[in-house]
Amino acid sequence: MQNSYLPSVVKQFEYYKMLGDNTFNQLTDNDLNWQYNNQSNSISIIVKHCVGNMLSRWTNFLTEDGEKTWRERDQEFEGSYKNKATLITAWKKGWKCLFEAINQLNEADLERIIFIRNQGHTITEAINRQLAHYSYHIGQIVFLGKMITNQNWKSLSIAKGKSVSYNTEKFNKTKGKRHFTSDL
């Protein structure tokens, strides 16, 4: 894991942020607040939750519990951002907090213990927990975006029917170590 985990995890977080960014680019203000039914969340609400989580987990994460006393998680699922610009500003603020926290780490920090809701985690475990949490919600964002835009959706991955050409392109390159997001 020496010298590979932290750069890899940063690239993974950047990838999921990019999926969200590219979904937002395809949507209108109204699209961001669309809900399938009253029990489901809009993209705006999911973003609000992700941002609340990011700010809570990554602010002073080495010295304070990841569930901050100032976080009001239940309110993250009420209301939504008024427009796309406000949503994107909040989204960027959450990611900035995350990247600033991770970029201060080095490999020796990975076994340090931090706390989330009074439960000890190594920094590696905490990073993995958040990577899984954000990818789960960003998958929801992408899926909702695809539902909302229907035939106008611009694929963010290998488009249907394009696997053979995608793989041909990959296998025509020289074999080598690189992160899968390097070609995006």
Asked if residue 97 is part of any domain, the answer here is: yes
**169 within some domain:** no
Q: How far apart are CA 124 and CA 111, in angstroms?
A: 7
Q: Supply 179's token pair.
A: 């992160």
Is 36 a domain residue? yes
**pLDDT digit string (tens) for 83-115?**
999 999 999 999 999 999 999 999 999 999 999
Q: What is the CATH number of the domain that holds 55?
A: 1.20.120.450
Least confident of 71-85, 96-110, 117-131: 71-85
CA torsion through residues 73, 59, 86, 23, sign: negative
pLDDT, one tens digit per residue, over 136-155 is: 999 999 999 999 999 999 99
Residue 164 lies in a domain: no
**154-165 per-position pLDDT tens digit:** 999 988 898 999
pLDDT band at 1 (very low <50, low <70, confident <90, very high): very low
Q: Tokens 């985690």 correspond to what residue?
A: 121
Spell out the residues 6+ positions from residue 91 whose beta carbon is closer than 8 angstroms to its own: 20, 21, 24, 47, 50, 51
Task: Examine residue 148 and state whether it is found in any structural domain, yes or no.
Answer: yes
Domain holding 55, by residue range, is: 5-156
Tally of domains in the chain: 1
Give a yes or no: residue 174 inside a domain: no
At 88, is the secondary structure helix, strand, or coil? Answer: helix
In angstroms, the CA 13 to CA 84 distance is 21
Is 162 inside any structural domain?
A: no
In this structure, what token pair is assigned to residue 71?
């976080």
Q: Helix, strand or coil for residue 168?
A: helix
Cα separation values, 112 from 21, 63, 119, 123, Å: 32, 11, 13, 6
Query: Is there a domain that residue 21 lies in?
Result: yes
